Amino acid sequence: MENVNEKNATEGLNVASNPNKRLILKSVAIGVITLLLLIPIKMVESLIEEREQTAKSAMSDVFEQWGGEQLIIAPNIQYDWRCHYINKEGEKEKIEYYNRRVTLLPENLHISGTVNSQQLKRGIYEIVTYNSPIEITGDFVFTGENIEDIEHNVLHESVKIAISDIKGITEEVKLTLGNDTYTLTPNGESILSTKEFSASINLKTWTLGEKVPFKLILNLKGSQALKFLPIGKETVVSLTSNCHTPSFCGNFLPTTREVKADGFMSEWKISYVNRSYPQVIIGDIDEDGMRESEFGVNLLIPVQHYQKTLRCVKYAELFVILTFVLFFFIEIIQKKRVHPIQYTLVGLALTLFYSLLLSMSEHIGFVSSYWISAIMTVVLITLYTAGVLKIRKTAAYIGASLLGLYTYIFILIRMETYALLAGSLGLFVILAVLMYLSQRINWSKAE
């Protein structure tokens, strides 16, 4: 038994006195610690996703109560066209009648509105909503092609509009068509996930080829986005808003637009030749074709701090590895011993940075949270390093290096177009520095 104990003690002494074996063991220990730190890093990723879902749930609750994304389908006229055909039964001929649905779209369509955005709070979350008076004007031209007798061949005439979320309507919907004013009411039908409002009209009083003007004012509430369909032969949409972060979306971009710090102005001009459905639709409506032609503006201020924090976490493993390599080189060059427990504590401090960033960004924004969390982490690790190594100058170098790494990551997060290029060049420079430092180490005699 004594011989076995003496043998184990001798092997331990050989490992401690053999620099190469000690470096190998230390490298293995650092690698294991790095892998173990992946557990809290993944936990932070899950926490970010959970908080983002909580924010989206809060926004959905407000949207359901206030009004969601609005798609407006401007006034159009529908009627049944009474058609006939001759049914031959032997020597007898019998006239059979049937109806075909006809949808008449506006000749000219002009939409203008002032979109007043405002922020509502649900807990710690701010949700952007809007209310807007929308004025819709234009005219119809009833041609009545192939209809010899309007009195008998045009049936069940009605004028219709449609919007996505009827909670956004704040008052009665009144439409002036020609010399008459109609109150549009829900008819229980829907198109493109919108709810229709309609009123019966009388096309028999119209003169073929005559332009019949219409006017409608909608006081509308909504959130997220405001969209339209270009159903006019010529469609012109003009919007102004106090929202300074618009995102124009859909199949058409504005012809002119101006975005300032206090809001934006935009105008679309769209011809019927730019879409896939005709001005007079006979039979079923091509909903897919109509959906493809929608356009508008997204007014939702995106909750970007969750995505940015998640992007930061993607660099966590690289950050931990570079920091450990820096400590490892300093440990060898200055002949200082850093215990694996101390590596672990430094790694946990680096991981805690992301939790600080997440919690602060929900209250004070991403940029301020990033730098406050980075400075707190750098100061903590610098002071700890000074206490471990007993060399303040080296601790200051490590603190400066960490601050440089945090600055580098911040630049990558802020960049989009050149993020890959900047990341590749930055990693090249970091690798070059590490290669330079490694030249100062005599690996065969390192202690």
* Rounded Cα distance, 358 and 316, in Å: 14
Residue 419 has pLDDT above 70, yes or no: no
For residue 346, pLDDT beyond 90: no
Reduced 3-state DSSP string for 224-280: CEEEECCCCCEEEEEEEECCCCCEEEECCCCCEEEEECCEEEEEEEEEHHHCCCCCE
Rounded Cα distance between 211 and 142, Å, is 8
Task: Write the pLDDT tens digit of every residue in 246-269.
Answer: 889 989 999 999 988 888 999 999
Q: Which of 6-15, 126-135, 257-266 has the lowest mean pLDDT?
A: 6-15
How much is the pLDDT for 303?
58
Between these two residues, 3 and 233, which has the higher pLDDT value?
A: 233
**Percent residues over pLDDT 70 in the chain:** 84
Check residues 134 and 328 and name the one with the higher pLDDT.
134
Of residues 302 and 199, more confidence is placed in 199
Q: Where are the domains of the chain?
A: 16-55+305-438, 68-302
Higher pLDDT, 250 or 153: 250
State the Cα–Cα distance between residues 156 and 142, nearest whole angstrom: 15
CA dihedral for 20, 23, 29, 31, sign (positive or negative)? negative
Q: What was the pLDDT predicted at 156?
A: 81
| pLDDT tens track for 314-335 | 888 888 888 888 888 777 777 7
Distance between CA atoms of residues 280 and 81, nearest Å: 12
Mean pLDDT of the 205-214 span: 84
| Maximum average pLDDT range among 78-87, 280-289, 432-441 | 280-289
Q: Is the pLDDT of residue 13 over 50?
A: no
Given a cut of 80, is residue 231 above it in pLDDT? yes
Query: Residue 152 has what pLDDT?
Result: 58
pLDDT in tens, 377-414: 989 988 888 887 777 888 888 888 888 888 888 887 77
Name the band, by pLDDT with cuts 50, 70 and 90, for residue 442: low
Query: Cβ contacts of residue 304 below 8 Å, gap of 6+?
Result: 366
CA atoms within 13 A on the CB side of 259: 9
Phi, psi at residue 215, to the nearest 5°?
A: -150, 135
Provide, rounded to the nearest whole percent, the portion of the chain with pLDDT above 90.
17
Helix H or strand E segment including 60: helix 19-66
Backbone angles phi, psi at 36, to 5 degrees: -65, -30
pLDDT in tens, 30-40: 888 888 888 88
89 SS3 class: strand
In which element (H, E) is residue 71 found? strand 70-89
CA 30 – CA 327 distance, rounded (Å): 10
What's the rounded mean pLDDT across residues 100-116?
A: 90
Is the pLDDT at 71 greater than 70? The verdict is yes
CA–CA distance, 256 with 334 (Å, rounded to integer) = 64
Q: For residue 16, is pLDDT > 80?
A: no
In this structure, is the dihedral angle defined by the CA atoms of residues 34, 341, 382 and 44, taken in order, positive or negative?
positive
* pLDDT above 70 (res 20): no
Measure the CA–CA gap between 42 and 139, rounded to whole angstroms: 60
Kindly report, residue by residue over 272-330, the tens digit of the pLDDT: 998 888 888 888 888 888 889 999 998 866 556 777 888 888 888 888 888 888 888 77
Mean pLDDT of 180-186: 90
Closest to 44 in 3D by CA, of 344, 302, 353, 323: 353
Mean pLDDT of 33-57: 84
In terms of Cα–Cα distance, which of 293, 253, 256 is closest to 272?
A: 293
> Do 379 and 369 form a contact (C-beta atoms < 8 A)?
no
The two structure tokens encoding residue 136: 């819709």
- How far apart, in whole angstroms, are the C-alpha atoms of residue 318 and residue 354? 14
Residue 426 has pLDDT above 80, yes or no: no
Average pLDDT over residues 416-440: 73
Say what the pLDDT of residue 191 is: 81
